[in-house]
Structure 1
Amino acid sequence: MKTYPIFAVIENKPCLVVGGGAVGERKVADLMTAGARVTVVSRTLTPELAALAHRGEIRYLPEDFTEAQVEGMTLVMAATDDRKVNAAVSAAAQARGIWVNVADDPEHCTFIVPAQVRRGELTLAISTGGASPALARQLRQEFQQYLGPEYGPYLDLLQRVRTRLLTERRAHPDNGPLFHRLVQSPLREAVAQGDRARVLHLLHEVLGPVLSTSVLGELVSQALKGTEG
């Protein structure tokens, strides 16, 4: 299967999941992580989905699938254990030009959901094009071990530094080299150790000539809020 990798912006967009079992629950979790407004169609729900519906965090339609349910949706996901229902969901979505994913059935998909590793704003997506989902899962496990939890606050810090630097020195020719020096420095390791003094020292080594110590300290405090050190 030939695919084109993209990251879809679906925050506050309506998305439909047909199926309230374990697979549907995983689909809902992924969509909610991306900020989507999720509707679930199913006669039954897992306890977790039922709790989400009870709290109003998802819209729940306790009924069988109908074509009208896909109207106005940005993405549609079929996650039932009935292949005929899943095929009907796919057909209804494709007839309306809506992207659709059918669990474990690439032939009825217009997009596939890759294995994912998330660390804050960092997302690593892994796909084998449907050739071997088991390999994709294995690679995800390996990358989960490699990409430690420090990558979340580390990326947050890099983003804050970049935003501040571009605000004060927009389009300056030295910005690119400064960013490169930061990511080549031992900054991530210092974040992983929760050593704020070391983090501030490393930032000052690279950015001291352009950002004050007080500004750098503020950025460190914001990015590493809640971490040890």
Structure 2
Amino acid sequence: MEENHLFPVFFKLNRLQVLVVGGGNVGLEKVNAMVQNSPAANITVVSLSFLPELQTLAKQFGNVTLIQKAFSCGDLLGKDLVIAATNDKELNLCVWEKAKGSKVLINVADTPELCDFYLGSIVQKGNLKLAISTNGKSPTVAKRLKQVLQEAIPDTLDEVLNKLHIIRDKLKGDFAAKVKKLNSLTDVLVDPATKEIE
């Protein structure tokens, strides 16, 4: 049976350069997902035309640059990640070929076999951020799980995280001792035998 062997990572997009090829609905969706999660993301969008909503997004987020032109190899210079987000399969394949030749990681929208990475569905509660992947099998299931988790995880969890961060900074001892103490403090979060504290 096939398993999901993806290795999850969280990119600091304010330190990377991202190229999005395509200014339509898919390009808008990808850019919007990135800036909602990383408002200081450095994104260049190359396209012959742009949806008005994408133009508005670029005005709202100063690190989103729109360049009205056809894609060319030079657009990949200095880029760390590329997203091909056009409705032209031949152009998407061309972008993929050029990215692979330049050793730049690429995601070709709706084409899992041409993706080095996926953009998962994101659940966020303050500092807690969960990414959901179905290994490219069903983005719809990922979106539904996102809805369930968004409602199930309490908003107060961020307060717990902040307090645990303060405690972690004050703990004495080596790494193993700190981990043991933090595990002891957080048992209440996962132990079904723990009685509810009122």
Asked whether the two chains share a fold, i.e. TM above 0.5, the reply is yes
Of the three residues 183, 202, 212, the one matched with 2:186 is 183
Give the number of aligned pairs: 185
What is the aligned partner in structure 2 of residue 76 from structure 1?
82
State how far apart, in whole Å, the 2-side matches of 1:22 and 1:65 are. Answer: 17
Deviation at 1:172, TM superposition (A): 6.8
Do the aligned partners of residues 85 and 149 (structure 1) sit closer, same or farther apart at CA in structure 2, a change above 3 Å counting?
farther
What is the aligned partner in structure 2 of residue 67 from structure 1?
73
Of the three residues 107, 110, 125, the one matched with 2:113 is 107
Structure richer in helix, relative to its length: 1
What is the aligned partner in structure 1 of residue 157 from structure 2?
151
Contact 2:43 2:65 in 1 (8 A): yes
State how far apart, in whole Å, the 2-side matches of 1:119 and 1:110 are. Answer: 27
Superposition map of 1:20-99 within 5 A: 20-32=23-35, 33-34=37-38, 35-55=40-60, 56-99=62-105
Higher Rg of the two aligned structures? 1
| TM-score, reference length from structure 2 | 0.80
Deviation at 1:174, TM superposition (A): 4.4
Structure scoring higher RCO (CA < 8 A, sep ≥ 6) equals 2
> Does 1:12 find its partner at 2:18?
no
Q: Where do 5+ consecutive residues of structure 2 fail to align?
A: 190-196
State how far apart, in whole Å, the 1-side matches of 2:140 and 2:154 are. Answer: 22
DSSP 3-state at the match of 2:165: helix
CA deviations 1:128-184 (Å, max 9, x no partner) are: 21222222222222111212322333323322332x224xx2427643333123323
Q: Sequence identity of aligned pairs in percent?
A: 33
State how far apart, in whole Å, the 1-side matches of 2:84 and 2:54 are. Answer: 16
Contact 2:16 2:80 in 1 (8 A): yes
Deviation at 1:94, TM superposition (A): 0.9
DSSP 3-state at the match of 1:158: helix
Greater shift after overlay, 173-182 or 64-73?
173-182
Superposition map of 1:163-174 within 5 A: 164-166=169-171, 169-171=172-174, 174=177
Contact 1:165 1:175 in 2 (8 A): no
Matched letter for residue 65 of structure 1: F
CA deviations 1:51-108 (Å, max 9, x no partner) are: 2333533111111111210121111001111111111111111111111001111122
Do the aligned partners of residues 48 and 159 (structure 1) sit closer, same or farther apart at CA in structure 2, a change above 3 Å counting?
farther
